[in-house]
């Protein structure tokens, strides 16, 4: 066991006894949503996982220790502190641990810590990817590299629609990451079900998802599996509405000179404002939907 890693008693007992566990990130709490919706959503997501037979493990760095299984009080702390908590990617981990500081884990660091703990299934909102204009900026999320090397199944609603989705798919193909559509042949685009892009494979049951993960591990293949689970139809936003908001948000971001890890929080907040809050409600609904599927897949993987 990693000397820095801390497991909550519930998560430690679940892993010891072979119960299904689902990892959850904490950047969505501190950087992805405003308070108090961030805390309310995090607790609803945990309850959704429990309702579907698995144990939730919200992951964060608390006082310099990577933790799998945050308490409600720690979730409240992360939510209230918000963007004052460091958004922690792979490059930030050594410094935060050495300094004893807090960090909200991205998809990348959640995968790292989940793998450290022995957790194989992770539910999130959307992954990072290749940013628009990356041909000039080389702005590519570390999530792409982590998916290529860390054996965790990530269940999401696709790559965030603020990204260059065709290039994101190309990058994942180059890295050998299977992109699976759950119940769909089309890549969902976070707020909306439709992107016009095809995924590698369609799978329709949690049992088959679990079987694919087992087969990948049995073959000794590196890296994870990306499962893209469309937002429920009744909460899907019209593609033209969300794309117009994204284009305006991108223009304002460029004008303000915002770049790097500050891009995604800025864009998500701006899109929320431009859509009158509709994108926030869509975000909440898709995260709950992903948590449900992740719990069901974790149960199938554990034979429950």
Active-site residue identified among 67, 87, 160, 270 = 160
160 is catalytic: yes
Active-site residue identified among 25, 46, 76, 146 = 25
DSSP, residue by residue, 175-229: TT--EEEES-SB--BTTBS--S-B-SEEE--HHHHHHHHHHHHHTT--S-EEEE-
The torsion angles phi and psi of 265, rounded to 5 degrees, stand at -60, -40
Which residues fall within 8 angstroms of residue 216, CB to CB, at 6 or more apart? 151, 178, 225
19 is catalytic: no
Query: Could you tell me which residues are beta bridge partners of residue 22?
Result: 56, 121
- Of 251, 260, 239, the closest CA to residue 106 belongs to 260
Query: Could you tell me which residues are beta bridge partners of residue 226?
Result: 154, 179
**CA–centroid distance for 62 within its chain:** 19
- Of 6, 127, 108, the closest CA to residue 57 belongs to 6
Active site residues per annotation = 25, 160
């Amino acid at each position: 066991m990693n000397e820095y890693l801390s497991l909550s008693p519930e998560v430690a007992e679940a892993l010891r006894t072979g119960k299904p566990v689902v990892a959850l990130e904490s950047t969505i709490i501190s950087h992805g949503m405003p308070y108090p919706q961030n805390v309310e959503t995090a607790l609803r997501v945990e309850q959704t996982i429990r309702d579907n037979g698995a144990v939730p493990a919200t992951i964060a760095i608390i006082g310099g220790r990577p933790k799998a299984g945050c308490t409600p009080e720690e979730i409240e702390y992360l939510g209230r502190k918000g963007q004052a908590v460091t958004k922690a990617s792979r490059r930030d981990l050594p410094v935060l641990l050495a300094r004893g500081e807090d960090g909200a884990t991205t998809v990348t660091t959640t995968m790292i810590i989940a793998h450290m703990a022995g957790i194989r299934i992770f539910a999130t909102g959307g992954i990072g990817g290749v940013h628009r204009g990356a041909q000039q900026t080389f702005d590519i999320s570390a999530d792409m590299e982590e998916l290529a090397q860390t054996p965790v199944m990530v269940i999401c609603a696709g790559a965030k629609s603020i990204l260059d989705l065709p290039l994101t798919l190309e990058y994942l193909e180059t890295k050998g990451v299977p992109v699976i559509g759950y119940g769909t042949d089309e890549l969902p685009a976070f707020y909306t079900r439709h992107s016009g892009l095809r995924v590698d494979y369609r799978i329709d049951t949690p049992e088959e998802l679990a079987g694919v993960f087992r087969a990948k591990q049995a073959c000794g293949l590196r890296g994870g599996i990306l499962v893209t689970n469309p937002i429920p139809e009744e909460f899907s936003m019209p593609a033209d509405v969300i794309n117009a908001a994204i284009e305006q948000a991108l223009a304002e971001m460029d004008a303000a000179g915002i770049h790097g890890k500050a891009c995604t929080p800025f864009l998500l907040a701006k899109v929320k404002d431009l859509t009158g809050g509709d994108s926030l409600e869509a975000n909440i609904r898709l995260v709950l939907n992903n948590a449900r599927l992740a719990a069901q897949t974790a149960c199938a993987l554990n034979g429950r």
